[in-house]
Every structure is written in structure tokens, then in C-alpha cells.
Amino acid sequence: MKNTFVGAHLDFIGFSTSIACAVHCAFLPLLVSWLPFLGLEFLENPWVEYGIILISLFLALFALSHGYLKHHKKALPILIVNLGFLIIAFGLIWGPEELEFIITPTGAVLVGIAHLVNWNFIRKSKDKFPDYTEHSY
């Protein structure tokens, strides 16, 4: 059985997008000044960011609920991801604009950590029950 985290399973994809989101949020202030020169003005639209966050939220909930329901029955990853998205929402909606580049990436990193914790719980449940491979991804 393969126990590496890198692969095409949902937690790795969720973790990767969360880290990409954290990098995006941290460097967006620098990138915004270059958008017109790069022909990427559409990225300044807040609805692009909201759409990416919603897609990430649905992916995270799907991956984590699958792990919870089919493998480990532990709520910790779901609690961590909820905290992460609450921090992201706070940073975007109510947080001070000058601190958004710190607050939002912090939430994104928590979302990534939730995927790592979920993957670890799934891996441990498969180690405990090695014949149970019916719902692996």
C-alpha cells in the first residue's frame, strides 16, 4: 500500500490548492500592480476570488466528509477547515485591509493542514484495516 501524501487523491489536491491560495493572498498586493501589463485585469474582480474560495470550500468539504464518513469518523479535520474558512472570510469581509495579506493566507494554511490531518487519519485507518480498500481514493 502506498503511504505517500503526494498523488492525485482529494486531500493532496485540496492541500495543494490551499497552499496556492496562501501564496496568492500573500503576493496579491505585488501582483495587482502588474496585472494591466500582463493582460490579467480580470483577476482584480473580487468575484473571481470569491468563486475560487467557494470551489475550494466545496472541494474541502467533499474530501473531508469522505474521509470522515468512509474511513476515520474523526471531526478534527472538519473543525480545522471550518476555522480556516472562517479566518479567510474574516480577512476578506471584516478584517483590516492592510492585514488581509496575513489573515487570509493564515486561513488558507489551516485549510491545507486540515487536508494533511485528514490524509493522516485515512492512512492510519487503512493501516489498521489493510483489507478495507473499497472506498479509497
CB 116 within 8 A of CB 11: yes
What is the value of pTM for the model shown?
0.70
- pLDDT-based confidence at 16, cuts 50/70/90? confident
**Residue pLDDT, tens place only, 22-65:** 777 777 666 666 666 666 666 667 887 888 888 888 888 888 89
Distances (CA, A) of 75 to 10, 62, 82, 121, 123: 17, 14, 11, 10, 16
Please report which residue ranges of the chain form alpha helices under DSSP H.
10-32, 35-38, 46-67, 76-89, 100-128
**pLDDT above 50 (res 80):** yes
Alpha carbons 137 and 131: distance in angstroms, whole number:
15
